Amino acid sequence: MSPADTDIPSTRPYLIRALHEWCSDNGFSPYIAVQVDASVQVPMEFVKNGEIVLNVGVDATSSLRLGNDFIEFKARFGGVAREIVVPISHVVAIYARENGQGMAFPAPAPATLSAVKPSVLVSDAPPSGDGVEATADTASRSPLRSVTSEQGQEEGDVPPEPPADGPGRSPGRPQLKRVK
């Protein structure tokens, strides 16, 4: 790797902005899946298994700023306005809620993740109903799950696409599609 390669900025913020714009232009709700640690400012009562899924649509946020280093916005959780700050490196996916189309990114390296206290990861808090999809069961509905292929190899964080009428397929449940 040459020294010039280390100076190239990440493509992640540009891809996030592009997919956010695509979702918005086509009437979809853009959601981001975020790996949570001490550097992420989100309501910890909605974090489950170190992850939170947030609706970053224009109707669900105010003062949305998709920067090169951080995603910042204000949103209501359970009727309470909260300031949200997410480092770009902690966004592990952006996708359209309605059809699951989007993009997954590598999770931040474990060395960069700070320990999150398990006591704040589980919540019995009710859904907010304020347009922000950040509930205690959100992580279980996230399209990002570690799966193993039939050959026993890790395929990454994107689940295989089940048949449309197959078992375990809920009507209307979005699925993130891997495009190669």
Confidence of residue 137 (pLDDT cuts 50, 70, 90): very low
CA 24 to chain centre: 16
Contact 95, 176 (CB under 8 A): yes
> Across 83-92, 114-123, 144-153, 160-169, which has the greatest mean pLDDT?
83-92
d(CA 125, CA 145): 23
CA distance linking residue 20 with residue 80, whole number of Å: 25
pLDDT in tens, 152-178: 334 344 444 444 444 454 555 566 666
* Domains (range + CATH), the chain: 9-141 (2.30.30.220)
Confidence of residue 144 (pLDDT cuts 50, 70, 90): very low
Residue 19, φ and ψ in degrees, nearest 5: -70, -35
Digit-coded pLDDT (tens) for 86-112 = 999 999 999 999 999 999 999 888 755
Helices vs strands, H then E, count in the chain: 3, 7
